[in-house]
Amino acid sequence: MVGARIEAVELRRSGLRAPFPRGFATRLAGQTVEALTRRAKYLLAGLSSGDTLLMHLGMSGSFRVNDTSGRGAGQPPAPVDPHDHVVFHLASGADVVFNDPRRFGVMDLVAPGGLERHRAIGALGAEPLSDAFDAAALARACAGKRTSLKAALLDQRVVAGLGNIYVVEALHVAGLSPHRRASTIAPPHGAPRDAAYRLTAAIKQVLARAIERQSAKDYRSDRFRVYDREHRRCPRRSCHGIIRRRTQGGRSSFYCPVCQK
């Protein structure tokens, strides 16, 4: 989409998780996509108007590109999927289609200068692979928190973009229990303890490896240390523990009760 002009936007319903903003399709028509970036789990398309198209896939959303430039007159139109809710018709002849069976996705238009004040973006924590995310930042965010360490890491205000699988994996690499209180990695004044250093390093390591393996496209359990490996032996060489599964906040935690403290 970068560099492409949007000729028209086809909305096949009134909204996704929330209604589309007023004049959504009209404001997008004729605009060129100048940049496509990401903040946490949100996709951000910067437009020539100065607006930003904010998108989130939700639980089941996906994009695909249909090249319609070679379709001649008289040919039947492509079949319509009932879960194709938004179609961006580009001047290049391509259609970018947003499909979302569960309709938990999000699309919004943010006016120039309003992105950092947007309810979805403004309160986000640092990106986990950025220089801004370090042991000191994590310790400050967790100081005084009575919630579990796992719940804190899933809080997008603490660190942006982490999901359940990689939180579970990072906690095992760091040797920290998902059930321990978040405040234990920092004293009241917020200086990082050793656990904060281990955990930030583990988060960066786990994410870097995931990107290398392109594991976002392959969730087989053998890609992971502990996730979805209940009843198997802990992969840490010096440990003889057995991986357990426990539900926390409606999400599965996989951990070793022996080496994660």
Handedness of CA 167, 129, 97, 44 (dihedral sign): positive
Domain ranges of the chain: 6-117, 135-255
The domain defined by 135-255 carries CATH number 1.10.8.50: yes
Check residue 77 and give its pLDDT. 64
Using one digit for the tens of pLDDT, what is the confidence trace for 207-238? 999 988 874 455 565 689 999 999 999 999 99
Identical topology for domains 6-117 and 135-255 = no
In the chain, which stretches have pLDDT less than 50?
Answer: 215-216
Check residue 190 and give its pLDDT. 82
**Measured in Å, how far apart are the chain's first and last C-alpha atoms?**
47
Check residue 25 and give its pLDDT. 98
Check residue 188 and give its pLDDT. 86
Check residue 221 and give its pLDDT. 56
Check residue 220 and give its pLDDT. 60
DSSP string, the chain: -TT-BEEEEEESSSBSSSBPPTTHHHHHTT-BEEEEEEETTEEEEEETTS-EEEEE-TTT-EEEEEE-TT--TTPPPPPPPTTEEEEEEETTSEEEEEE-TT---EEEEE-TT-GGGSTTTTT--B-TTSTT-SHHHHHHHHTT--SBHHHHHH-TTTBSS--HHHHHHHHHHHT--TTSBGGGGS-TT----HHHHHHHHHHHHHHHHHHHHTGGG---GGGSSSTT-TTSBPSSTT---B-EEEEETTEEEEE-TTT--
Check residue 70 and give its pLDDT. 61
Nearest to 36, CA basis, from 21, 64, 57, 55:
55
Tell me if the pTM is above 0.85.
no
Check residue 213 and give its pLDDT. 83
Check residue 100 and give its pLDDT. 97
Return the CATH number of 6-117, one of 3.40.50.410, 3.20.190.10, 1.20.1070.10, 3.40.640.10: 3.20.190.10
């943010």: which residue's tokens? 110
